[in-house]
Amino acid sequence: MSTNLMDHVHMRGDLLVTVRDARTGVQVQRYAVRNKITFLTGDVLVELIAQRATDPAPLAGQVYSMRMGISNTPAARSDTNLGAFAAAKRLEDVHKVNGASGALQLLATLDASEGNGATLQEVGLFTRGNKPVPTESDAPGIGPGEVRMIAHQVHPPIPKTPAITVEYSWQIAFTA
């Protein structure tokens, strides 16, 4: 039996960042970028599918938070954390929307009172990890059961002030 190594499922991510006037809701800027899925994503998916006795509980791999940062260092698949943390949002179930077949959209908004004073330039998706009471800013690691960054991208600089809101819409999709 031979295996065709070209038969595999690809994973891709697309990030849409929308800046709005906080008072009127009018769109001021909009950026669309393709993101980097990190190498740690494969480890998380294997653990979720295998569910071996030695693997972390399924909730450890849950996409739990979207974190924003101020670094403009280009994203790489080997990244394990943001370059410089600025703000974070917990991704509740209502922020996880099924898209087309094999796609998931993750939504987060920094409102007028959040992230002010930072020049936002990067964003990442992080798992929950095994902590009994997780937070959106728990330190990430690389091992099973730890908080892990599964996707990362940089975008044009956005000086965050109370005059604007910043919406992040991140689609993760499995494609042939």
Task: Give the pTM.
Answer: 0.88
Q: What is the pLDDT of residue 3?
A: 54
Classify residue 4: in a domain, yes or no: no
- pLDDT computed for residue 88 by the predictor: 97
The answer to whether residue 109 sits within a structural domain is yes
Q: How far apart are CA 134 and CA 113, in angstroms?
A: 23
How many residues in the chain? 176
Q: Is 126 domain-assigned?
A: yes
Q: What is the mean pLDDT of each run of 10 residues along the chain (176 residues)?
A: 56 91 98 86 75 74 92 93 96 80 89 98 93 91 91 96 97 78
pLDDT at residue number 56: 73
pLDDT score, position 95: 76
Q: Give the model's pLDDT for residue 62.
A: 85
CB under 8 Å to 5, separation ≥6 — which residues? Answer: none
| Conformational region of residue 113, where left means phi above 0, alpha means psi within -120 to 50, and beta covers everything else | alpha
Domain count, the chain: 1
Q: Is residue 3 part of a domain?
A: no
Q: Is residue 1 part of a domain?
A: no
Structural domain for 61, as ranges: 10-175
Q: Is residue 2 part of a domain?
A: no
In a domain, 5, yes or no: no
Answer yes or no: is 23 within a domain: yes
Return the sign of the alpha-carbon dihedral for residues 155, 156, 159, 162: negative
Which two structure tokens, joined as six digits, stand for 63? 């996409």
What secondary structure does DSSP assign to the chain, as a single string? ----TT---EEEEEEEEEEEETTT--EEEEEEEEPEEPTHHHHHHHHHHH--TTSPPGGGGSEEEEEEE---SPP-TT--S-SSEEEEEE--GGGEEE-STTEEEEEEEE-TTSSTT-EEEEEEEEE--S-SS--TTPPP-SSTTS--EEEEEEEEEEE--TTEEEEEEEEEEEE-
